[in-house]
Structure 1
Amino acid sequence: MSTRDAVAALKRLGLPNYQARVFVALQELGTGTAQEISEVSEVPRSQVYGAADDLLERGLVELTESSPKRYRPVSLGAAREQLTNRLERERERAFANLAELRTATPDRPDDGSVSTLRGRQPIDDRIAELIGEAAAAVVFTAPSKQSLTEGIETALRERATQGVAVTVVTAEKALRERFAERPIRVIVMGEDNPADFAGRALMIDEGTVLLSVATDDEAVDEEAMWTAGSSIGRILAQFMQSGIESGTDRNA
C-alpha cells in the first residue's frame, strides 16, 4: 500500500487529513520532531503540532518531553483498537441522534409509489420486513438456496406459525425438506419453466410485490423494485399468481 493509500484509508476511518498524514509519517520515522514529521508528511510545521496533539488525545501517539518535543506512534494493535472503538461510539451516537430526529410517520406509507433498492443486504432486509407485515398470504420465489437468507427464513417461519399462508417457490428440492416441519408450502418448479427464476420475487397479500434481479456490477450485485397499495402491485401480483399456477400444472 502506498503512503497515499494509507492516508486515504485512515481518513475513511475518521481521521482528518493532517492527522492521517502525520500518523503515516510517524510509521515511517518511528519517532520524530515536528520538523521531521513535516518534511516526511508535507504538512506545514505549524500544523504538525496541532495534528500531533489531536492524535495524542486520541491515544494514537505518545509524546516525549524533550527539546524539541518528539512524537512516537503507539503500536498498530493499539491504534486499531482505538480507531475501532471510536468508530463504534460515533456510530451509536449518530444513530441515536437519527432516532430522535426521525418523525413518527410510518416508515413505509402505502401511497402507491414504486421504490427501488440496490445491493443485496438492503434487499434482504426489505424482503424480511415486508414478510413480517403480511396479514394473510406470502409467496416468495427463491431461485436458489442462497436466495433464502437466515433473516428471510426466520420471517417466513414466524408468519407461517402465526397463521399466514406461506408459499415458497423454488428450483431447489432441498428446500422442501428444509421446511418439512413447518406449515409452509414449497413448490419445486421444473427446469422447463426458467422464466420464473429470473430473480427473486415476493408477493404479500396480493397487493405488495417486490422483484429483484442480479446485476453485472461488482459494487451492486442485485437491484430490486417494490410497491405496495398500488394498481401496478395488484397487476404484478396477478401475473405472479398466474405464473405459479401455470408452472405448477406443468410440473404436476
Structure 2
Amino acid sequence: MSTQDAVESLRRLGLSKYEAGVFVALQQLGSGTAEAISDTSDVPRSQVYGAADDLAERGLVEVTQSTPKEYRPVSLTAAREQLTARIERERERAFENLDALQDEAAHDRRVQGVSTVRGRQPIDERIIALLETARDSAVFVAPAGSSLSPDIAASLRERATTGVNVVLVTAEPALGDRFDADPVHVIVMGEDNPADFAGRALMVDEATVLLAVARTEGGTEEEALWTAESSIGRILAQFMQSGMESGRQRQTDESSA
C-alpha cells in the first residue's frame, strides 16, 4: 500500500487530510518534530501543529514537551481501538438522531397512504414494528402455525404484558397451547370461514391494518399492504371486526345446533 492509500484509508475512518498525513508520517518516522513530519509528508509545517494536537486529543498521538516539540504515535493496536470506538459512537449517534427524526415525523403527521411490502422476512419485521405501536389493542390473524414466527409471538406476548389487549385469531388449535401462560387471548375459528383466512392480517388500535397474502403456493413468497393511523386503516379495521364477529357468531350457531 502506498502512503497516499494509507492517508485515504484513514480519511475514510474520519480523520482530516492533514491529520491522516501527520499520522502516516509518524508511522514512518517513529517520532518527529513538526519540521520532520512536514518533510516526510504533504502537510505544510504550519498545519502540522494543529493536526498533531487534534490527533493528541483523539488519543492517537503523544506529545513530548521538548524544544522543539516532538510527536510520537500510539501503537497501531491502540489506534485501531480508538478509531473503532469513534466509528461506533458516530454510528450510534447517527441512528439515534435518525430514530428521533422518525419519531418526530410520526408524531407530527398521520400516514394517509397505503404502503406495500414483499417477502416473508420484511413482512414479519413490519408486523413487529406495527405491534410495537399498539397502545390499546392488537389483533393478529395467523391461519396456521407457519404464519406465526417466534419473533412475532414474542412481540404479541410483550405487548400483552404491557396491558395491550392482544388477540390471536387462528384455525390451528395447537397455537393456543403456545400462549397458555401468557395474557394473549386466542380465538380458534373453523378453517371453512373464508372471511378470516385469506391470509395473515394485523389490526392495531382499530386504525392500523396490515393484510398479507401468499404469492406462491405454500406461502414461500408473500406480499402485504399496510396503512397506519389513517382513515383507510379505520375502514379496513371495520371490515376485519365485522369478519371476526361473523365468524364467532357462525361458530356459536354451529355449536348450539
Smaller-chain TM-score bracket: 0.5 to 0.7
- In the alignment, structure 1 residue 229 sits paired with structure 2 residue 230: yes
C-alpha displacement of 1:110: 4.2
Cα 1:195–1:138, aligned 2, differ >3 Å: closer, same or farther? Answer: closer
Equivalent of residue 158 in structure 1, options 146, 157, 161:
161
Task: Return the alpha-carbon distance in structure 2 between the equivalents of residues 116 and 43 of structure 1.
Answer: 53
Task: Return the alpha-carbon distance in structure 1 between the equivalents of residues 240 and 36 of structure 2.
Answer: 70
Percent of pairs with identical residues? 37
Report the TM-score when normalising by structure 2.
0.55
Task: Return the alpha-carbon distance in structure 1 between the equivalents of residues 36 and 104 of structure 2.
Answer: 55
* Counterpart code for 2:235: R
C-alpha displacement of 1:72: 1.6
Q: Over alpha carbons, which structure has the higher Rg? A: 2
Task: Return the alpha-carbon distance in structure 1 between the equivalents of residues 190 and 28 of structure 2.
Answer: 61
Task: Return the alpha-carbon distance in structure 2 between the equivalents of residues 178 and 137 of structure 1.
Answer: 18
- Residues 166-245 of structure 1: matches in 2 within 5 Å? 166-167=167-168, 177-184=177-184, 185=186, 196=199, 202-210=202-210, 226-232=227-233, 234-235=235-236, 238=239
In structure 2, the residue matched to 1:217 is: none
C-alpha displacement of 1:21: 4.0
Report the TM-score when normalising by structure 1.
0.56
Whether the 8 Å contact between 1:209 and 1:237 is mirrored in structure 2 is no
In structure 1, the residue matched to 2:129 is: 126
Unaligned runs of 5+ in 2: 214-223, 252-257
C-alpha displacement of 1:52: 0.6
RMSD: 5.4
- Residues 71-90 of structure 1: matches in 2 within 5 Å? 71-79=71-79, 82=82, 84=85, 88=89
Cα 1:90–1:186, aligned 2, differ >3 Å: closer, same or farther? Answer: same
Aligned residue pair count: 219
* Counterpart code for 1:127: L
